[in-house]
Structure 1
């Protein structure tokens, strides 16, 4: 873990998807390596951070969770503002959560940067015997829509680390390809400067310049 003054970039990543698919547990598994069997739906927005070393850069990842707002359709553009990555999560045992992926994707692109990195995540793959969505079907949907894809289990940790790190790596690659230097807000707004970034978000120190 790095302290606040030792990172090169801050990347905001949001978790979206229907209530009950395991977004909060993916968040706590990745940031704290914890799983809460009795996690209750809370109202509001929660986020946790984790600092990761990647290609000689120290990157602080802010992971935001809707924390129950999705069932009230009360998610506003403020939740998406500044996000450069998203994990669109569904439950592999509940087809209705997968069917809503298209709607979530539309909402995401209506409010967020169209160049952001998005991964479709089929969670709860520890419940293989209850599966209703074939991995091949979800993968095909992801490819059609230009999304990354992975199946995870927040319960037993399967692919949780890999999902977040793959998204982070893809974001970093996009930022690096634009020759980001200190003070550039491309680190948080991949399509260019549409609004001012905070000081923390401007912490690009040129670590990924060739």
Structure 2
């Protein structure tokens, strides 16, 4: 293929990534991932911020993982500061897939407490993956401060992130069990149960915790 032909193919692919049809966008993202080219990186990152279809976003992330980290990391890190929630969420998700420990450096307290649940969930998952040795207690405290927020899916994501940190969460979790807010206490109790018994379903754990809180059960450490 000549330079002119290659340039024309690049233009067609870039246009396909913005096509109105999701099937065309999906094929284009797959093609870019199958034949990585630095000229696609900026567009891939930009499309992640606005792509409405989950399965296409997932393919865009895969395509980005196929490119050199030296090209993708700076662009993704910049997107975590975007005003667009999807840009922040998807860039964090992609950072979790490229396996570069520098991702920890972009995980600000603002991201961990982002008002958008999807952004916060992506930040929690990424933080647990890349937390440096010795920083686990501080991360545990930051995550525990989010207990009680959001719907059931958000609460489950937070509990899973905390449980993945292990026993280091116990002091911060125990403090949350005595919090004045019933939702925080129930979420903390459910997370403690998941930590002690990973086979427990979250639905069972949270419903039991809510009953305990409603009945004024003692917020003591389980025996």
Instruction: Establish whether TM, by shorter chain, passes 0.5.
Output: no
TM category (shorter chain) comes to under 0.3
**Hey, which of these two has a bigger chunk of strand by percent?**
1
Q: Which has the higher contact order (CA 8 A, sep 6+)?
A: 1
After TM superposition, the score normalised by the length of structure 2 is: 0.27
**Hey, which of these two has a bigger chunk of helix by percent?**
2
